[in-house]
Amino acid sequence: MHKGRARAYTNIALIKYWGKKDETLILPMNNSLSLTLNAFYTETEVIFDETYTQDSFYLDGELQDAKATSKVSQFLDIVRQLSEEKSYAQVTSKNFVPTAAGLASSASGLAALAAACNEALDLQLSDRALSRLARRGSGSACRSIFGGFVEWEQGTDDASSYAQPLNSDDWTDDLAMLFILVNDQQKDISSRDGMKRTVETSSFYPGWLEEVPKDLAIAKKAISEKDFTTLGTVTEANCLKMHGTTLAAVPPFTYWSPDSLKAMQAVRSLRSAGIECYFTMDAGPNVKLLIEKKNLAQAQAYLETLFDSAQLVSAFAGPGIEILK
């Protein structure tokens, strides 16, 4: 019997990963850049045991159906290939984040699973190798191996596609993200399906690929200069460009709901009132504000006039993978 437990935190991309050039290896079309957060995370235990007759997957106390289990099983197959291990496994996971609601449960979920497997089988993977392994489960998971600002190098093959931290700890301490939870139910179109449809059919997708390297360069320079205005402006612009691509997909779709637009408008109002903050969104209707810690209370007070206080959750920069005993 081999057992390992790990915790991984979600990350939110400021410059988005949107589209794959290799769906099996999960190689992205573009580099991306994220901030790992402390408020949302996953804890996962994995046990490999010769007596098991199949893989099983418990999420939040419930045994998962064949479809959900097969995704975990496919990842375990990659781990078994990498190691000498032949046994089936039992995976028991708890999401301290709503699942599949555009709040990056796949990032924390698969990063925690990768780290738990590394621990259980004593694979002794370096952080970079662990990032590559997590990537095979879900692209954004490769960034959750590390804390703070993290860049995922798209690479050209399995060996060259991994995330690494930007080492900007002293600035991440000044920053916060405020989540406006407009809906925490499972979304209709997963990130995986949404990006695939966009790559294959959206006439706006080539425009996205042209823009990302420029946005990324601006964001990295802003981080190195601790220039919040520039980082926030490019974060919001990059999110809008990503979401724009879905409107030209066939059939078209959007992750936005009327409440997402209400939240975006609230961010613009805050800015007009001199409280600097910027929004970003992922594959779901929830809106995340990037803000400096010093302005968080004022923004929260304003947003409480528009949304229920239970819908507002603040987060700060979070750490990388943690091994649990």
* Min dist. Cβ of residue 105 to ligand ADP (A): 3
Do the Cβ atoms of 176 and 232 come closer than 8 Å? Answer: no
With CB atoms as reference, the residue minimizing the distance to ligand ADP is 109
Asked if 283 interacts with ligand ADP (CB under 6 A), we say: yes
Nearer to ligand ADP, 14 or 218 (CB): 14
Asked if 72 interacts with ligand ADP (CB under 6 A), we say: yes
Nearer to ligand ADP, 93 or 238 (CB): 93
CA 236, distance to chain mean position in Å, is 16
- What is the rounded distance in angstroms from the CA atom of residue 57 to the CA atom of residue 317? 29
Do the Cβ atoms of 275 and 284 come closer than 8 Å? Answer: no
* Min dist. Cβ of residue 173 to ligand DP6 (A): 23
252: its two tokens: 């078209």
* Min dist. Cβ of residue 242 to ligand DP6 (A): 7
Burial readout 195-211 (b: 16 or more C-beta within 10 A, e: otherwise):
bbbbbeebeebeebeeb
Asked if 295 interacts with ligand DP6 (CB under 6 A), we say: no
**Which string of x and - marks every residue 100-139 that binds ligand ADP (by CB under 6 A)?**
xxxxxxx--xx--x--------------------------
With a CB cutoff of 8 Å and minimum separation 6, the contacts of 32 are: 13, 15, 16, 17, 140, 143, 151, 152, 216
The structure tokens 């600002």 sit at 149
Nearer to ligand DP6, 122 or 193 (CB): 193
With CB atoms as reference, the residue minimizing the distance to ligand DP6 is 139
Helices (H), the chain: 66-82, 105-120, 127-137, 169-172, 191-201, 205-224, 228-247, 258-272, 296-303
Number of residues that bind ligand ADP (CB under 6 A): 24
149: its two tokens: 């600002």
Asked if 42 interacts with ligand ADP (CB under 6 A), we say: yes
Asked if 286 interacts with ligand DP6 (CB under 6 A), we say: no
- What is the rounded distance in angstroms from the CA atom of residue 226 to the CA atom of residue 212? 20
26 binds, among ligand ADP, ligand DP6, none (CB under 5 to 8 A by kind): ligand DP6
Asked if residue 251 has a cis previous peptide bond (ω within 30° of 0), the answer is: yes
Residue type present at position 68: A
With a CB cutoff of 8 Å and minimum separation 6, the contacts of 323 are: 4, 5, 6, 115, 119
**Which string of x and - marks every residue 97-116 that binds ligand DP6 (by CB under 6 A)?**
---------x----------
State which of residues 155, 284, 285, 320 lies at the interface with ligand ADP (CB under 6 A).
284
Q: Residues in the site for ligand ADP, rule: CB under 6 A?
A: 42, 44, 59, 68, 71-72, 93, 95, 99-106, 109-110, 113, 190-191, 282-284
Q: Residues in the site for ligand DP6, rule: CB under 6 A?
A: 13, 16-18, 26, 32, 106, 138-140, 191-192, 282-283
